[in-house]
Structure 1
Amino acid sequence: MNRTILTLLAVVLLFNCSTAQKVTDTQTIDKTSVKASMIKALEWQEAHPIFAIAPTDWTAGAYYTGVARAHKTTRDMMYMAALKNQGYWNNWETYKRLHHADDVAISYSYLYIDANGGRKNFVDLESTKKFLDAHLYEDDNWKAGTDKSKEGKTILWWWCDALFMAPPVLNLYAKHTNQPKYLDEMHKFYMETYNQLYDEEEQLFARDMRFVWQGNDKDTKEPNGKKVFWSRGNGWVIAGLALILDDMPEDYEHRPFYEKLYKEMAKKMLEIQPEDGLWRTSLLSPESYDHGEVSGSGFHTFALAWGINNGLVDKKHTSAVKKAWNAIANCQHEDGRVGWVQNIGAFPEPASADSWQNFGTGAFLMAGSEILKLK
């Protein structure tokens, strides 16, 4: 099904998320309501488990990162109970593809539990260490540059989503175990991805090499002539940057690079935020699917609120971030389910009021965790 047909289907079948929301006050945040909506989202998601491959895959990793951030802010033990439960039943394992960044995302939650769970030796980090050592130090086709697929699989983290999946785990593992070598390795591979996928003109990341403009390929542009930049893809990156900076030592020699990149992306996301507060799945062609989408918007909102709370984004943008949260909150169903989440994919596509994924709930919880801290 081509993009034109998908666009027509979106117009016929979907209604605008912001229209459905009927947001009347974008400046007020009721923190009691925020906490209640976050708990409802947790309860619904725990009662409706879903994953792409296995309970230890990247979708669960993103969801439980959101649960960890919710606990970090609220200290509500419901979040810690959910974290410990999944870790225990997962036997503290990662997923099995040791050179695929997606498959260690779940370890962010394990590391968080080990640092904050209150029971010594409850968490077994052996699988996480095995994964990270293989991931960084063993040879594979991507690192060797011998995989010549059209996606550009010639570096370890060849897709921008990977910058959420592995780097925050490596960064936190280095901090938790006091082994800075893991942070240095993280930086080395992060720079490969940055150099291959970051568009310095637009200050956004291409999802992979299929969407890097080569000057002669019209398929890498939207109908309006703009380059293709996926909202959730860039959400993965900027949310990952906030996670990295949150745990990275203040005196780390490469920290200025991450702060600069974060500020560039934050500035861009604020510049292109739609009037109703929710980013569209195609960032520079919002008319392609003209309705808000919650997973990308949730990650953007988390990152921007984190920036305000940590002095990297000017507080004058607080109203824009509050607007985004209120729009996201109005995409939550009465039962707690978070709707308007684009399904698993790799480029801009439509969502609907009834489309949901666990990583969308994770983005929702991450956003709420920082919204609660706004003054």
Structure 2
Amino acid sequence: MNQKKLLLFLVVFFCASVHAELPDEFKKFPEACRPENVALKIIRLYVNSSESTTPVTYPEVCSWFGALRFAKISNDKKLLEKLENRFIPILGENSGAMQTPNHVDNTVFGVIPLQLYMQTKKEAYYDIGIDFADRQWIVPANPSPGNAEKYRQLSEKGLSWQTRFWIDDMFMITAIQSQAFLASGDVKYINRAAHEMVAYLDSLQRPNGLFYHHQPDAPFFWGRGNGWMAVGMADLLTYLPEDNPNRLRILEEYRKMMNALKNYRNEEGIWNQLIDDPDAWTETSGSAMFTYAMITGVKKGWLDVDEYAPVVRKAWLALVTYMNENGALRNVCVGTNIGNTKQYYLDRNRVTGDRHGQAAMLWCALALYDTDSNHSVVNLCSLDYEHGVLSPAFHPEITEYTCYTCVGENIITPIITTPFYGSKVTGTDPIDIDLGSTTSTITVFSMDELNNKVYTVNFVRGNYENYTDKILNNDFDLAPDPTDCSKSVSVVPEVGGFDGWLKSDGTKDTAWRPKNSTCKQFYGWTCDLSLTGSSTSQGINTDASNKHGDWVCWVGGNRSSYSEFELSQTINDLPAGMYKVQCLFAVGSGNRKNNQRVFANNNVQYYGSPSDYQNNLVSGENYAFAGHTSFEENKLAEMMIYVDIKAQESLKIGVRTSNKLSNGNTVKQESPMFKVDYFRLLKVDPTHASNANLAQIILNVGELNFSPQTLVYDVMLPAGTETVTAVPVPVFQDAVISGGGNVDVSSGSGVFSIVITSPDGSVTNTYTINYKVDSDSGEKTVSKRIIYSVVDNKLTVKGTNAYTVYNIHGIKIADVKTDGLEATVDLMQGVYIVKTKEAKTFKIIV
């Protein structure tokens, strides 16, 4: 074992040391696009997801594998612990989740224990993972006569018996064999992978560099199928020794593929479901895989940085726009077998949050992540207070806030997320504001603890009042008392003599169901259960991944005729004023995706976006849209409605839905039609509710002297700028923002317009930025003091006493001391990095 550990050290050291400095295009992303922030969202979704009790499938393996690799490069020990804790039960009480290496898609599971071994050095993980890799080349005993001949022929060619010549295989096989090489140090594993890759290249690659999904049955350039090849080649080349006889061939075909992909991008800068079909829809999982392969190639020096780095940046920025607020990627093609018509691929469903896409986006973030600079990252990712309103809305680069607290709320606790699970944060204890105004500081430290950032929050008694206690059973943890239906008991089987917990056959249920109870109704809530047909699929259970407390309410049915179902509660004796109603809400996909909406009197908020309700909006209501893109029946999302209550007016709140689809067709009800939890009611400050101002606009390039009352700006951008991103920060977080994002200024100019609507919907403001790119006059401004020019291969830098010139590989070319005078350097044609004494760094092209 000692020899194996030495080989492991040498292999890992060699592979880790092959790392080029990231080009400028891979840095300075807008906050929402920073690789660590994207990775955090995706990883949190995965870590918080339910653990599989059946054999773990390859899409989850890919997400798990990416999260483990991110834990390694970010040195996040707490994340590693969480990921290891998902695996440990598979060796015992959750053994049903263990895979069997009997198919290419199943054998890739072995990368998980191999990664765990390399990070924890626990031998049990090595033994499991290496067995998976070995058995990929050990022909099964007693195969059928037909398979026996096929396996014999493959074996004679040195190929795995799992070889199918499907392009998907070239990630699955190369991943497990490459990880076995890294874990063991035995080159037989990486040599196998390379030999297999060349066989697939010979069989499947077309003259244009791309790959048919399957030859000859599916002669189509399917996006994600090609993505597996792109990632497989990029990762294999990363670990393949320079002296491997197949390396140059694989590198040549990899470059041919990357060149073809570069030329097939759509207008967004990413790729379509069918790569060569300009009329096909944008598919994000394949696009993320291509982006990952290009990032790897640029970093390793296989691809020209000036040619491909801008392609990568545009693709990454476009892909992030397809992620929702929770980190789920949309426009992901569902799992796809080979098809024999073009239309088959064009008609494939597009889903959100599928792990094919989640894993690929995580890989991109992993590849863009700059270990050196990110160990000094000190931002919070989010900051909120449950019983307070933060102003301005949180942004990681803004460090001064006011929190308006509710009347009567004396203890307030911050709710934060950090870039890494292992980030050290102080100042997160509950704050006692009983004495009135007070100030709190939250300090977040970098992973190396050499840097920190302090966020200051000033607490002020606001004109807010919490009326959540007026909502009966707001958290759905109560059921009617069977002895007196006007009273309640806790939702626990033993309370109330199992009333509502027994099935028709008398056995104990895992949910409380009103139709099986004495009172035939939810406690505190009113609905007509006859509108759900004969189904008993309504009640209170635990089936939601992010519920508040222990329980969640769900309603399903089996009625086929059209019906409009309502779950409601009426609240009386509220003081007049503006109120905010909130709850957690989940809606499924397919025929479960109807016109589900939360309501407060006549104001409603639909779960999705306007495009999700083409022919099933209900007239007569004042509607808004939450804009959620992930339709998953067990994943609750925040809903919010503002409603103005007049004197002596009642407030009716709840959920409405019908069984009508967006196309107008009525379908049979399914279960669940919706899930709902944790209703809250807050009386808000009317001046805050009607505020439609921005507190700041943050640019990733250029300078803007912002004032909330100024609606139009002219911004001059540095010469050479091709895209600019503006991030608007509202004064109050509930304001609705539309428009904005990335602006293409490659033509020399561009316009950014953003519309902000006040939380109560009564006021709207439009902010506009007119961008103009500075013309290249020969002199370029790096900062307010430092200016450089390149004329006749001579570099001149003004405004600094000293600077150093490096080539693109990081080799020092010249050290220049100017003593405040102009000094020139003669340079050959090429790309150079200049670092001044003041630590200003910029790239030049000669």
TM-score, L = length of structure 1:
0.77
Pairwise CA distance, 1:54: 3.9
In the alignment, which of 198, 208, 211 is matched to residue 214 of structure 2?
208
1:175 is matched with which residue? 182
Amino acid at match of 1:209: Q
Distance 2:54 2:263 in 1: 38
Alpha-carbon shift at residue 95 of structure 1 (Å): 1.9
Alignment-derived partner of residue 298 in structure 2? 308
Query: Per-residue displacement from partner, 1:279-322 (whole Å, max 9, x unpaired)?
Result: 111001131x33x2221111111110111111011111211111
CA distance in 2, matches of 1:143, 1:29: 54
Q: What is the CA–CA distance in structure 1 between the aligned matches of 2:147 and 2:314, rounded to whole Å?
A: 41
Q: Secondary structure at the match of 1:114?
A: helix
Change beyond 3 A, Cα 1:313–1:123? farther
Letter of the 1:87 counterpart:
F
1:320 to 311, 314, 327: 311
Change in Cα spacing, 1:143 to 1:332, as seen in structure 2 (3 Å) is: farther
Asked if the contact 1:143/1:156 (under 8 Å) is kept, the reply is no
Task: Name the structure where helix makes up a greater proportion of residues.
Answer: 1
Aligned to 1:156: 163
| Residue 356 (structure 1) aligned to one of 353, 356, 379 | 353
| Post-superposition CA distance 1:54-108 (Å, at most 9, x none) | 452211221123223333443334542343123323339862242x211122222
Measured in 2, the distance between the counterparts of 1:207 and 1:253 equals 27
Residue 253 of structure 2 aligns to a residue whose secondary structure is helix
Q: What is the match of residue 95 of structure 1? A: 99
Q: Which residue of 2 aligns with 1:133?
A: 134
CA contact under 8 A between 1:175 and 1:248: conserved in structure 2?
no
User: Looking at CA atoms only, which structure, 1 or 2, has the larger radius of gyration?
Assistant: 2
CA contact (8 A) 2:114 2:125 kept: no
The Cα shift of 1:145 comes to: 2.9
- Report the counterpart of residue 286 of structure 1 in structure 2: 278
Tell me how far 1:253 sits from its aligned partner: 2.5
- Could you say if the C-alpha distance between residues 75 and 242 of structure 1 is closer, same or farther in structure 2, counting changes exceeding 3 Å? farther
Preserved CA contact (<8 Å) 1:239 1:302: yes
Amino acid aligned to 1:64: W
CA contact (8 A) 1:341 1:357 kept: yes
CA distance in 2, matches of 1:366, 1:182: 23
- Opposite residue 190 of structure 1, the aligned amino acid is M
Contact in 2 for aligned 1:27/1:319 (Cα 8 Å): no
Alignment-mate amino acid for residue 272 of structure 1: Y
Is contact 2:133-2:180 (8 Å) kept? no
2:194 equivalent in structure 1: 187
Opposite residue 367 of structure 1, the aligned amino acid is C
Contact 2:298 2:304 (C-alpha < 8 Å) held by counterparts: yes
- Whole-Å Cα distance in 2 between the matches of residues 162 and 144 of structure 1? 21
Matched, 1:271 2:275: no
- 1:341 corresponds to which residue? 332
**Alignment root-mean-square deviation, CA:** 3.2
The answer to whether the Cα contact below 8 Å between 1:62 and 1:362 also exists between their aligned partners in 2 is: yes
- Residue deviations 1:319-359 (CA, integer Å, cap 9, x gap): 11111111111111112222221111135346777533122
Give the structure 2 partner of residue 225 of structure 1.
none
Equivalent residue letter for 1:325: W
Q: Which amino acid aligns with 1:281?
A: Q
Q: 1:351 to 1:42 in 2, by over 3 A?
A: farther
Q: CA deviation at 1:237?
A: 0.8
Partner of 1:196, secondary structure, is helix
Q: Which residue of 1 aligns with 2:112?
A: 109
Instruction: Give how far 1:28 is off.
Output: 5.8
Show the counterpart of 1:243.
235
**More divergent stretch after superposition (324-333 vs 86-95):** 86-95
Displacement after TM superposition at 1:155 (Å): 7.2
Letter in 2 for 1:166: I
Cα pair 1:50 1:357 within 8 Å, conserved: no
Q: Give the drift of 1:186.
A: 2.5
**Structure with larger RCO (C-alpha < 8 A, sep 6+):** 1
Residue 367 of structure 2, aligned match among 347, 367, 370: 370
1:41/1:361 contact within 8 Å kept: yes
Asked whether the 8 Å contact 1:198–1:206 carries over to 2, the reply is yes
Give me the whole-angstrom Cα distance separating, in 2, the residues matched to 1:362 and 1:267. Answer: 24
Query: 2:115 is aligned with what amino acid?
Result: Y
Q: Distance in 1 between matches of 2:212 and 2:147?
A: 18
Matched, 1:48 2:53: no
Matched letter for residue 225 of structure 2: G
The residue number in structure 1 matching 2:455 is none
**Residue type of the alignment partner of 2:61:** G
* Aligned match of 2:63: 63
Deviation at 1:156, TM superposition (A): 1.3
Task: With the length of structure 2 as denominator, give the TM-score of the two structures.
Answer: 0.36
The residue number in structure 1 matching 2:517 is none
Distance 1:246-1:297 versus aligned 2 partners, 3 A rule: same
Secondary structure of the corresponding residue to residue 209 of structure 1: coil
Contact 2:107 2:176 in 1 (8 A): yes
State the Cα deviation string for residues 221-265 of structure 1 (Å, max 9, x = none). Answer: xxxxxxx10110110111111111222223223221221121111
Contact conserved, 2:35 with 2:369, CA < 8 A, in 1?
yes
167 and 143 in structure 1: CA distance in 2 versus 1, 3 angstrom threshold:
farther
Q: Is the 8 A contact 2:51 2:86 kept in 1?
A: no
TM-superposed deviation, 1:127: 3.0
1:297 matched to which residue of 2? 287
C-alpha deviation, 1:177, in angstroms: 0.9
Instruction: Select the structure that is richer in strand.
Output: 2
Distance 2:123 2:30 in 1: 36
| In structure 2, C-alpha distance between the alignment counterparts of 1:188 and 1:44, rounded to whole Å | 37
Once the two structures are TM-superposed, the CA of residue 49 in structure 1 deviates from its matched residue by 4.3
Q: How far apart, in 1, do the equivalents of 2:312 and 2:284 lie? A: 14
* SS of equivalent to 2:332: coil
Deviations 1:92-148 (A, max 9, x none): 9862242x2111222223222222x2x33265233333333232131565684389x
> What is the CA distance between 1:368 and its match in structure 2?
1.1
- Name 2:498's counterpart in structure 1: none
Q: Secondary structure at the match of 1:95?
A: coil
Aligned to 1:7: none
Q: Which moved more, 1:246-255 or 1:236-245?
A: 246-255
Cα distance in 1 between the residues matched to 2:44 and 2:260: 34
- What's the secondary structure of 1:90's corresponding residue? helix
- Segment drifting more, 40-49 vs 156-165: 40-49
User: Equivalent residue of 2:333, what SS?
Assistant: coil
Instruction: Give the whole-Å Cα distance in 2 for the aligned partners of 1:185 and 1:143.
Output: 21
Task: Deviation per CA, 1:18-40: give whole Å up to 9, x if none.
Answer: xxxxxxx9996236733122211
What SS is found at the alignment partner of 2:125? coil
